[in-house]
């Protein structure tokens, strides 16, 4: 088995906020990340695909194809966006690096032309990152009240 990785970058803003909680509790749990107007990160994503090199091409997966899939399914949708409001497949999700990694995985898992998705590593900063290997994870999806919450801010 060989593991090949494609790295991508995107910049986005987000706010960590649980709409079921009071402002005080959100502030206590999420601290600066609860800033009402959000804050930004320069994210780095590393996607690793495992497989046997094709005898004719030597590729586990054509990394140009992988790049195109990552751009179409993730990067084009999140880059320079506010993750709480602007991205359809993230609606109602608290956009922690953990939840994002799981949602990104499910956005691309079925799209790979060859190999098997092995890991998705997402860096929010140099020091904070997570790695996901596709085990079943339940992510809470909150009722959408973002529009009105956002409307108050703009």
- Residues near Ni ion (CB under 5 A): 33
90: nearest Cα among 148, 3, 16, 1? 16
Q: Write the CA distances from 153 to 130, 131, 134, 142, integer angstroms.
A: 30, 33, 36, 20
Instruction: Point out the residue whose Cβ comes nearest to Ni ion.
Output: 33
Between 118 and 142, whose beta carbon lies closer to Ni ion?
A: 142
Give the span between the Cα atoms of 68 and 51, in whole angstroms: 19
130 is an active site residue:
no
**Least Å from the CB of residue 50 to Ni ion:** 30
> Which of 14, 41, 82, 124 is the catalytic position?
124
**Least Å from the CB of residue 81 to Ni ion:** 14
Q: Concatenate the DSSP letters of all residues of 32-98 into one string.
A: GGG-TT-EEEEEEEEEEEEEPPPTTT--SS-HHHHHHHHIIIIIHHHTTEETTTS-GGGTTS---HH
33 is an active site residue:
yes
> Which of 8, 33, 98, 131 is the catalytic position?
33
38: nearest Cα among 120, 123, 140, 146? 146
Give the span between the Cα atoms of 44 and 132, in whole angstroms: 14
Between 77 and 82, whose beta carbon lies closer to Ni ion?
A: 82
124 is an active site residue:
yes
Between 9 and 64, whose beta carbon lies closer to Ni ion?
A: 9
Between 48 and 96, whose beta carbon lies closer to Ni ion?
A: 96
**Least Å from the CB of residue 15 to Ni ion:** 8
**Least Å from the CB of residue 95 to Ni ion:** 8
> Which of 9, 39, 80, 147 is the catalytic position?
80
- Positions annotated as catalytic residues are 33, 80, 124
């Amino acid at each position: 088995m060989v593991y090949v990785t494609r790295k991508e970058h995107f910049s986005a803003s987000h706010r960590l906020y649980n709409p079921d909680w009071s402002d005080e509790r959100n502030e206590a749990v999420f601290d600066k990340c609860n800033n009402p107007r959000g804050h930004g990160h320069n994210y780095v994503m590393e996607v690793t695909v495992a497989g046997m090199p094709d005898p004719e091409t030597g590729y586990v997966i054509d990394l140009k194809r992988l790049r195109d899939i990552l751009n179409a399914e993730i990067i084009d949708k999140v880059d320079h966006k506010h993750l709480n409001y602007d991205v359809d497949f993230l609606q109602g999700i608290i956009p922690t690096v953990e939840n994002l990694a799981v949602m990104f995985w499910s956005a691309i898992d079925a799209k790979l032309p060859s190999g098997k998705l092995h890991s998705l590593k997402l860096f929010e900063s140099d020091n904070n990152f997570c790695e996901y290997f596709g085990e079943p994870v339940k992510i809470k999806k909150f009722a959408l009240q973002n529009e009105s919450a956002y409307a108050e801010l703009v």
